[in-house]
Amino acid sequence: MKTLTLATMPLDERHTGANIATWLEEVVAKFNISVDNIKAVVHDNGSNIVAAMKLLAEKHNWVSVRSARTLVEHFKRSELAITKLKEKQHQMNTPEHKLIQDISTRWNSTYFMVEMLLEQRWPITATLFDPEVTPRGKHYFDLKPDQWSLLEELTQGLQPFQCATEFLSGQEYATLSCLPQLAKGLQRSVQQSLRFETAPGKAFLTNASKELTERWGSFCTFFKEKDNKVLLSAALDPRFRKLKFMPAEQRIEVQSTVEVLAMRSEKESWKPTEEGQHQGVIVPRREGESALENLLQSDTDSLSEEVESHEDQKIQMVRKEVQMYFSESQIPKQEDPLGWWKENEGRFPSMSKLARSFLCIPAISTPAERIFSAAGNICSQKRASLSSEHVDMLTFLHFNSALN
């Protein structure tokens, strides 16, 4: 899957849904893209994976995390401590990695900070007990054994969330269809980690389970009055088409909705021409037809019958496609769903078009945020006089130059 950047625009007005829709219409009109081909943009609910963990980190501002942050700051400020740490790493045959300072706005940076501290625990401890680094009786920065234990539990609890965040941040493969399965998997990992011994660790897991249920419970629930694009995308992903993560009665509803959407898409792609609808047609007399029946027949009777017959055939073909698709086995999780649809397009011509339109939806806003980062590097303080048109063109070239 490839991601293209069509335009970057200055947004001076409020970022309401109506305004964003208007801006999108301007862009698609500029590139002569049919609005009917746009199924959805970035799915906002997917970004809850970052928001939920950030909220959890803020709720549990544990002493151990603050102490870990202070410890890293001490090594960042002291050249002597950094030099001694490198010596201890070499002596203990430990990877000579630098410590990582977390950023308050990024919950996973705390995970990386704690993970690196645990890797370098013994070189750090040896460095802090070196008299040249820490005077005797002034071991303020050393962590207690129970604090190290809590950091280990915190790392174990956050590791599945970090793995899910990293996977959903990709933009060269389908991500939205994986959300329901990931939500179930995270709930399962939380339940498996309930054996934590420390009270803060248990509190973390309790709140993590609660946040998952509140924020992602709707991912596995289908509502008739509103299409759930996450579930429809999962149903159109051959890795998850059995929808085993949801009740059986709702699976049938999702499959029925897929059938309706496929039929609607097929009907829109087949439209009789105006000439065929309005132009007079000479209808030959059918064999066995009486003279009166021939007189009573209108010029368009046979054409209408032909149109209705063609539509009926299309409906039956689409229905067979959907039934055959959902009756087949799931493909392995490591396979590419878009590659599978490309190979099986001949078997499922109607559904393949529908699948491409849903599987291309990104799960979270990370791909769009990468554009902000690139545009920020282009429009820097030293190039603050660039016009919005030049920023748009430079950003377009930056992201799409590989297409040449």
Nearest to 361 by CA among 222, 177, 183, 196: 177
Q: Are 100 and 120 contacting, i.e. CB atoms less than 8 angstroms apart?
A: no
More confident residue, 266 or 76: 76
Q: In the prediction, which pLDDT does 305 show?
A: 60
Q: In the prediction, which pLDDT does 60 show?
A: 47
Residue 350 CA to residue 261 CA, distance in Å, equals 10
Residue 327 predicted with pLDDT over 70: yes
Domain boundaries, the chain: 48-220, 366-403
In 10 A of CB 74, how many CB atoms? 17
- Residue 133 Cα to chain centre, angstroms: 46
- Summarize the confidence of residues 85-106 as an average pLDDT: 91
- Summarize the confidence of residues 41-45 as an average pLDDT: 42
What percent of the chain shows pLDDT beyond 70? 80
Residue 49 predicted with pLDDT over 60: no
More confident residue, 340 or 142: 340
Of the chain, the end-to-end C-alpha distance in Å amounts to 17
Q: Which residues contact 10 (CB under 8 A, 6 or more apart)?
A: 388
Q: In the prediction, which pLDDT does 275 show?
A: 43
Q: How many CA atoms lie within 13 A of 25 on its CB side?
A: 6
DSSP alpha helix (H) spans, 78-228 = 79-91, 107-119, 121-128, 145-168, 179-192, 199-216
> Cα angle at 335 between 334 and 336, to 5 degrees?
120
pLDDT tens sequence across 247-296:
888 888 888 888 888 888 777 665 554 444 444 444 455 555 566 666 66
Residue 96 predicted with pLDDT over 90: yes
pLDDT tens sequence across 367-399:
777 777 777 778 777 787 888 888 888 888 877
Q: In the prediction, which pLDDT does 298 show?
A: 57
DSSP lists the bridge partners of residue 223 as 226
Residue 53 predicted with pLDDT over 90: no
Residue 77 CA to residue 89 CA, distance in Å, equals 19
- Whole-prediction pTM value? 0.73
Confidence band of 363 (pLDDT split at 50, 70, 90)? confident
Q: In the prediction, which pLDDT does 372 show?
A: 76
pLDDT tens sequence across 231-245:
899 999 999 999 888
Q: In the prediction, which pLDDT does 31 show?
A: 80
Q: In the prediction, which pLDDT does 330 show?
A: 93
- Summarize the confidence of residues 217-239 as an average pLDDT: 82
Q: Is the dihedral of CA 185, 190, 191, 193 positive or negative?
A: positive
Residue 310 predicted with pLDDT over 80: no
Nearest to 42 by CA among 276, 181, 229: 229
- Which structure tokens are listed for 268? 């829109």
Long-range contacts of 314-319 (CB under 8 A, 24+ apart): 314/263, 314/266, 314/267, 314/270, 315/263, 317/350, 318/259, 318/262, 318/263, 318/266, 318/350, 318/351, 319/259, 319/263
Residue 402 CA to residue 398 CA, distance in Å, equals 9
Residue 213 CA to residue 107 CA, distance in Å, equals 19
184: exposed, middle or buried (C-beta count within 10 Å: 0-12, 13-18, 19+)? Answer: middle
Residue 41 predicted with pLDDT over 50: no
Give the chain's mean pLDDT.
79
Residue 131 CA to residue 133 CA, distance in Å, equals 5
State the SS3 of 284-322: CCCCCCCHHHHHHCCCCHHHHHHHHHHHHHHHHHHHHHH
287-296 CB burial, b ≥16 within 10 A, e <16: eeeeeeeeee
209-243 CB burial, b ≥16 within 10 A, e <16: bebbeebbeebbebeeeebbbbbbbbbbbbbbbeb
Confidence band of 35 (pLDDT split at 50, 70, 90)? low
Residue 318 predicted with pLDDT over 80: yes
pLDDT tens sequence across 181-215:
888 888 888 887 767 777 777 777 787 788 788 87
